[in-house]
Amino acid sequence: MNICRLTNNLNIGGVQKRLFTLLPLLAEEHKVTCITYKEKGYYYEKLPNLGVNTFFHPIKSKTNIKDIIKLKKKLQSHNTDIIHTHSLGANIPGILAGALAKTPVKIAQVHRKNYHWYAKNSIQRKKQICLESMVHRMFTDKILFVSKESLDYFQKKTKISNKKLKILHNGIEIPNHTTNKRKYRKELNIPPEKKAIAFIGRIGKGKGLDFFIDFALNALHHSSDFVFLVIGDGPEKKHYENIIAKAEKTGNIIFYGTQSNVSKFYESIDLLLFTSEPGAEGMSGVALEACSFKVPILARKTEPLTELKQYYNNITFINEEEKPSLNIHRALEKRLNTYDKFINEFSLNNMHYKTIQLYNKLLSKNQQMKR
């Protein structure tokens, strides 16, 4: 089976990390290629060492005919059986190139509800919806979603038949649980007597760091039992650091920037404070990673986290009528009793199995239609 994935970049991010862990597993038995069209990114040079071919194929716009034809030729040269695209910018040119190349199976993927159609005004967004809907109706075999919320929203906007839509939850590597908490906390200068509460992820639109900072300052006003950690980077990082400096809380709210080894933070913290805005995330990789390390989660209520809570019960939703310190204590008192259920649904092995199962089913269907 020759598999091609098309995505905008392989920088450090949720979608890219999932690709970095899944594609080498697929490559153990199949020929796998990952094409980026905007930039290469952090994982671009690493994947070939794990058996995955990478190519950079610039695409100027979603409907650029020359770039789509070039991509079609690349798919043909690789005898591609399956083209699997990620997000709007890849879905349209990737599926069109697959159709022109007569690629047997064409799969598109939608990751988020609010930012999938990202045009600045409503008229342009409607055009994006119409164009993508037309492409999928004509050529796409299956459209995948990482959460029920994103599937329902997409179906509502496009009116595409549910038969073409499918939820495939993200899968993550399940860690070997250790007892390195004391060691890592010392290494990271986290006071041993305080409850460590973290924001992990990119500092940017929809991630809710402003909410996190306000929540942290309010909690610290009522209690000195906590230390808050911000692990991640983004253009607004300096702005938030200035807010903390003016509040004279630099020892209580600590910025660590981007980290190559996030595992030691999950091992060190007592609570993930997940503040992304409703609709901004699909099925968050950060939330799933926290679950894999058995970290309790305190979060703004969203549909994907409500869906996740069916598999991982140690999620507490913020009650904004309560003091932040009370919300924290309520979350810390909860006990996990559904970890096996979480692993069965969200492990990388499960995602690998379901992906191969889907690929084989669609390939078999295509072959039967040719007879």
Task: Output the tens digit of pLDDT for each of the chain's 371 residues.
Answer: 999 999 999 987 788 989 999 999 999 999 999 999 999 999 999 999 999 999 999 999 999 999 999 999 999 999 999 999 999 999 999 999 999 999 999 999 999 888 899 888 999 999 999 999 999 999 999 999 999 999 999 999 999 999 999 999 999 999 887 667 888 899 999 999 999 999 999 898 899 999 999 999 999 999 999 999 999 999 899 999 999 999 999 999 999 998 878 999 999 999 999 999 998 888 999 999 999 999 999 999 999 999 999 999 999 999 999 999 999 999 999 999 999 999 999 999 999 999 999 999 999 999 888 76
Q: Which domains does the chain have, with CATH numbers?
A: 2-171+348-370 (3.40.50.2000), 181-346 (3.40.50.2000)
In whole angstroms, what separates CA 338 from the centre of its chain? 22
CA distances to 39, 58, 147, 262 from 42, in Å: 10, 17, 26, 16
Taking Cα atoms as reference points, which of 173, 176, 155, 180 lies closest to residue 165?
155
CB 266 within 8 A of CB 293: yes
What pLDDT shows up at residue 8?
Answer: 95
Rounded to whole angstroms, the Cα distance separating 324 from 86 reads: 37
Rounded to whole angstroms, the Cα distance separating 318 from 273 reads: 9
CA distances to 29, 44, 234 from 49, in Å: 16, 10, 29
Taking Cα atoms as reference points, which of 139, 45, 147, 39 lies closest to residue 94?
139
Rounded to whole angstroms, the Cα distance separating 334 from 287 reads: 17
**Residue 347 DSSP class:** B
Could you tell me the two tokens for 91? 């879905």
Q: Which residue has the tokens 């807010």?
A: 243
Furthest C-alpha separation in the chain: 73
